[in-house]
Homo-oligomer: A and B are copies of this chain.
Amino acid sequence: MKLDHTAKGVYAIAATPFHPDGRLDAASVDRLTDFYLGCGVTGLTILGIMGEAPKLEPEESLAITRQVVGRAAVPVVVGVSAPGFAAMRSLARNAMELGAAGVMIAPPSSLRTDEQIVTYYAQAVEAIGEDVPFVIQDYPLTLGVVMTPNVIRTIVQNHPSCVMLKHEDWPGLEKISKLRAFQAAGEMRQISILCGNGGLFLDFEMERGADGAMTGYVFPDMLVDTVRLQREGRRDEAHDLFDAHLPLIRYEQQQGVGLAVRKYVLQKRGAIASDAQRKPASGISATARAEVDYLLSRVGRYDRRARL
């Protein structure tokens, strides 16, 4: 089951569960996978930034891939961004052999010009092989690399194996409109566009033509509903639900602190045993925990899933 341009819905960006002492928590990997599936996601993305991928050793990355792919009944995308193409190739080939649906590649932050970005993806495709479907991660806020719609189009046109854009440019609404206009004009192949940024603009991103979300907000079930409502044309209902969660989405979107908040809530939802992060990590203070609890109680007035 390979990833292709028709992908839709919600791909949860999966956290990586650790024991308090830093070891991988394999039992929680299963529990978390089941949790996401229970939320109605159409796919999973593992080993992304939120998954603390750079802190893992290669064998751990493979072990997680094996475990999640073996358990999930949905397509699994594996983050394979790496400083060198040897490691990228190795992880990508191994992941696909284990049954992954595709891989995700973020540009290294040293890239500056349009040509450098286009060339980088050409080299990456050469490394992983043209038979491996891949996702472009477009995340300037964290990665520092800015891709214009033209650059994305060039990569899409150069590489048939490019099937999806993880869209998290900020601001990015006009970018979605522009890419969809390219397609409408026959100037670009159809690709799937799933949105990140913690879901902060998902309400309007769907209206601009996105196919769904690929992000780590701790209520993937809400993302699933919002995407569905928007696809059914129930705009006001979609916004009502989304707005009820927005104070928490916004809180999670704080760089650095965000992951601590997510793991804290995932633990509260019973999806993982411990909210531990592997070092280096930023913790969450008692005050912040109380703030999150307060936010949950407020969201819970509208959405009972938040009553934890």
A interface residue numbers (CB < 8 A to B): 22, 52, 54-58, 60, 82-87, 90, 109, 112-116, 120, 123, 126-127, 140, 146-148, 150-151, 170-171, 173-174, 177, 200-201, 203-204, 207-208, 239, 243, 246-247, 250-251, 254-257, 278-280, 285, 287-288, 291, 298
Please determine whether B85 and A174 come into contact, CB atoms closer than 8 angstroms.
no
Bound form: Cα–Cα A50–B173 in Å: 21
Please determine whether A298 and B246 come into contact, CB atoms closer than 8 angstroms.
no
18 further interface pairs, Cβ-Cβ under 8 Å (given A174-B287, A243-B247) = A54-B83, A55-B84, A57-B87, A58-B58, A83-B83, A84-B280, A85-B279, A112-B112, A112-B140, A120-B280, A173-B254, A177-B285, A177-B287, A200-B250, A208-B287, A239-B298, A243-B246, A246-B247
Please determine whether B57 and A112 come into contact, CB atoms closer than 8 angstroms.
no
**Number of copies of this kind of chain in the complex:** 4
Chain B residues with Cβ below 8 Å from A87 are: 55, 57
**Closest residue of B by beta carbon distance from A142:** B110
Please determine whether B113 and A298 come into contact, CB atoms closer than 8 angstroms.
no
Bound form: Cα–Cα A83–B54 in Å: 5
* Cβ-neighbour of A57 out of B86, B140, B279, B285 (below 8 A): B86
Please indicate which of the listed interface residues A146, A247, A280 has the most CB atoms of chain B within 10 Å of its own CB. Answer: A280
Bound form: Cα–Cα A52–B255 in Å: 27
Chain B residues with Cβ below 8 Å from A285 are: 174, 177
Please determine whether B246 and A278 come into contact, CB atoms closer than 8 angstroms.
no
Bound form: Cα–Cα A285–B21 in Å: 51
